Amino acid sequence: MHLTLRQLEVFQAVARHLSYTRAAEELHLSQPAVSMQIRQLEETVGLPLFEKLGKKIHLTEAGREVFQYSQGIGQHLREMEEVVEALKGVQGGHLRISVATTANYFATRLLAAFSRRYPDTTFSLDITNRKTLLGQLTNNETDLVIMGKPPDGLDLDATPFMENPLVIIAPADHALAKKKKIPLSALQDESFVVRELESGTRIAMERFFGERGVKLNTGMDMTSNSAIKHAVEAGLGLGIVSIHTLELELEAGRLVVLDVDGFPIQRHWYLVMRHGKRLPPVARAFFDFLMDGDAIRLIRTEAIR
Ligand code: PGA
CA of 73 to the centre of ligand 1 (A): 32
Q: Is the CB of 200 under 6 A from ligand 1?
A: yes
**Per-residue pLDDT tens over the stretch 245-277:** 998 788 788 899 999 999 999 999 999 999 988
Q: What is the pTM of this model?
A: 0.76
Q: Is the CB of 147 under 6 A from ligand 1?
A: yes
Q: Is the CB of 102 under 6 A from ligand 1?
A: yes
DSSP string over 74-115: HHHHHHHHHHHHHHH-STT-EEEEEEEGGGHHHHHHHHHHHH
CA of 90 to the centre of ligand 1 (A): 29
Q: Is the CB of 121 under 6 A from ligand 1?
A: no
How many Å apart are CA 193 and CA 81, to the nearest integer?
43
Q: Which one of 242, 267, 269 would you pick to mutate in the ligand 1 pocket, going by the greatest count of ligand atoms within 8 A of its CB?
A: 242
**Per-residue pLDDT tens over the stretch 99-134:** 999 999 899 989 999 999 999 899 999 999 888 899
CA of 101 to the centre of ligand 1 (A): 6
Q: Is the CB of 245 under 6 A from ligand 1?
A: no
CA of 142 to the centre of ligand 1 (A): 18
- Whether residue 303 is predicted with pLDDT greater than 70 in this model: the reply is no
Nearest alpha carbon to residue 225 among 188, 193, 253, 180: 193
Indicate the average pLDDT of the chain. Answer: 91
CA of 280 to the centre of ligand 1 (A): 26
**Per-residue pLDDT tens over the stretch 206-245:** 999 999 999 999 989 999 999 999 999 999 999 999 999 9
pLDDT of residue 75: 85
Q: Is the CB of 22 under 6 A from ligand 1?
A: no
- E strands, the chain, are 50-53, 56-59, 94-100, 122-128, 144-147, 156-163, 166-171, 191-195, 217-222, 238-242, 255-257, 268-274
